[in-house]
Amino acid sequence: MSSSKTISTKTVLLMAIITGVIVANLNFIQPIEGLIATDFHLSKAIVGVLAMLTQLGYAFGLLLIVPLGDIFDRYHLIQFMMVLSIGALLVAFIAPNAMVFAVATTLIGITSVAPQIIIPYAGALAPAMQRGKVLGTVLSGLLTGILLSRSFSGLLGSVMPWQDIYLIAALLDVVMLVIAHVYMPKDPRGHQQLSYGHVLKSLPRLFITQRRLRGSSLNGFCMFGVSNVMWSTLAFYLADQYHLGSNVAGLLGLLGIAGVLAAPYIGNLVDHRSPRLTIGLSIWFSSLAFGLFWLIGQWLVGLIIGIVLLDLGTQFSQVSNQAIVQSLNRQESSRNNSVFMFSYFLGGSIGTMSATWAWSIAGWNGVCLVAVAFLLISLAGHLILKEPLQLVAQRD
């Protein structure tokens, strides 16, 4: 593609909406963990494992499926994965016991990877000097889906059986599938002459040989881990500290709208200032958030301000790292994104598991200590691997 290529605002918004609706599948479980635990007679630690399975499944879907975007026509691959995710949601809806639900929630994670095929596709279609802004808009859709999914799930879980949430999600995905089929831009690249085995074997090489990819992967691992430390235990903390239910956990998710609104501006900062600056800000915002959670989280105002700061930190990290990753070799864009997002959601799953375990051992203090560990690792990576001061255009 030439440097004069363009992508319309309508197309970018379409990609953002589809991305948001699909990624929502991953987060429905967080505000309703208590309801699932009660219904299936599970401990909080075990239901935390179910939440982890969704993210772990997503991580392996990213590792094994997203690289197919470098082989197959992305227009068709996106729709195929949407069909599979609809099937997984329906299995979760009809699950009669915890074992079947565990399988279903893992499949939801594995199959809901279309957003991570859409993101490098949008990056490839965008002009080099608008890539950060385009990715910021698409990632706004991603974050909006994450935020609204928590509110959607928490509120509906307070007025109807939690299983119905998965049925409604499947129906919404069907609508998005039809829209994607009609309006998603066709892939001008078509199918590539690459073998799946060759593509998978290249993933370790890409990680080892690209310092920028290693830096983004480590930062994404830590920053999404930190985010999930809070969100996976928020429902427990609200019930224990404030005696509030899943509906309030869902409503608090709306506070992340600040991150959604900031994403295009973050993208502009990345384009015209420095990814190193914005990655540093991501660590600063998230650290400040957990400082507030730990010191004054027992007051609702401290919790609210901390959530806003944490979502800003997550968004600074996500937009910055995506812009860095998509500035690498265009022919390997899906694979680079696969490596980065595998690390991202591996961090999220470990954050979820370690936080729920820490909650069962030491309550909110234990949760905050887990977050400190992630933040210290992210700071070390920031100082040692050093993100680029300025992005360069993709190589063909």
pLDDT in tens, 328-348: 877 787 788 889 988 988 898
Interval 199-251: pLDDT, tens: 888 899 999 999 999 999 999 999 999 999 998 888 888 888 888 876 776 67
Per-residue confidence at 279, pLDDT binned at 50, 70, 90? very high
The pLDDT tens digits of the residues spanning 163-174 come to 999 999 999 999
Tell me how far apart the alpha carbons of residues 270 and 130 are, in angstroms, rounded to a whole number. 10
Q: How many residues does the chain have?
A: 396
- The sign of the dihedral angle between the CA atoms of 220, 170, 20, 44 is negative
**305 phi and psi angles, rounded to 5 deg:** -65, -40
Looking at per-residue confidence, does 297 or 86 come out higher?
Answer: 86
Residue 312 CB: number of other CB atoms within 10 A? 24
Q: Domain coordinates of the chain in residue numbers?
A: 10-187+196-385
**Which contiguous run of DSSP H or E holds residue 308?**
helix 300-326
pTM summary value:
0.75
Residue 112 CB burial class (10 angstroms; 0-12, 13-18, ≥19): buried
Distance CA 3, CA 47 (A): 49
Which CATH class for the 10-187+196-385 domain? mainly alpha
